[in-house]
Every structure is written in structure tokens, then in C-alpha cells.
Amino acid sequence: MNTLKQTLRRGRKNGNHKSGNNARFKRISLMGKKYNGIIDQITNPIDASNRFINLALHSIGDNSQGRQFLLESKQGIRKTAVLLKKLNEYSKKIENEIREIANKND
């Protein structure tokens, strides 16, 4: 399976970059920026939910069933936050790679 970087380089080696690849690079880069914005919009409510759970944990009894539910919810939110962080890092990495390739084509 080819990586995005390999595919873009192959197009550059074949001389296709002058006939529209640069526009594609820019579109893909723009998609990465929009993707980062979407991740930010998803992360904000997750952070708020995590803060709310922390507040609830401080006000609930130590041995209650509700506390166990809140702890499980907090664990799920942490996993989701870690996943979003990884997706965001990957998106930025791809965006930087595309920017580098596009700059080499100019």
C-alpha cells in the first residue's frame, strides 16, 4: 500500500505536478486545516464532559453505584480524547508533508 507521500512524489517524478497536482496539494492541505477545526470542535465538549464528571465525582459518595458509572464514563472520555489527539497529530503531520511537497513543486 502506497503512502500519500509516495503517491505525491510519484506524480511529481512523472511531471504531472505542473498540470494540476499543485491545485490538488492545496485542496488536500485545506481539507487538513478543516479537519483540525472539526477536531477542535469535538474536543471542546469532551473536555467539558470530563470537567463535569470530575465535579460529580467530588460530590458523590465513595461507595455509590453512581460513582462507579462516573468512573467508567471518565475512562471512556479519556480514551476518546486520546484518539482525537492522535487523529489531530496525524492530520497535522499529513498537512505538513503535503505543504513540503507542494513547496518543492513551486
> What CATH number is attached to the domain comprising 96?
1.10.287
12 belongs to a structural domain: no
Q: What is the pLDDT of residues 4-60, one digit of tens each?
A: 666 556 655 555 445 566 777 777 767 777 877 888 888 889 999 999 999 999 998
Count of domains forming the chain: 1
- Cα separation, 94 vs 106, in Å, equals 19
For residue 27, is it within any domain? yes
Q: Which residues constitute the domain of residue 45?
A: 20-105
* Whole-structure pTM value: 0.63
Sign of the torsion formed by the C-alpha atoms of 89, 92, 94 and 100: negative
Look-up of cell digits 464528571: 53
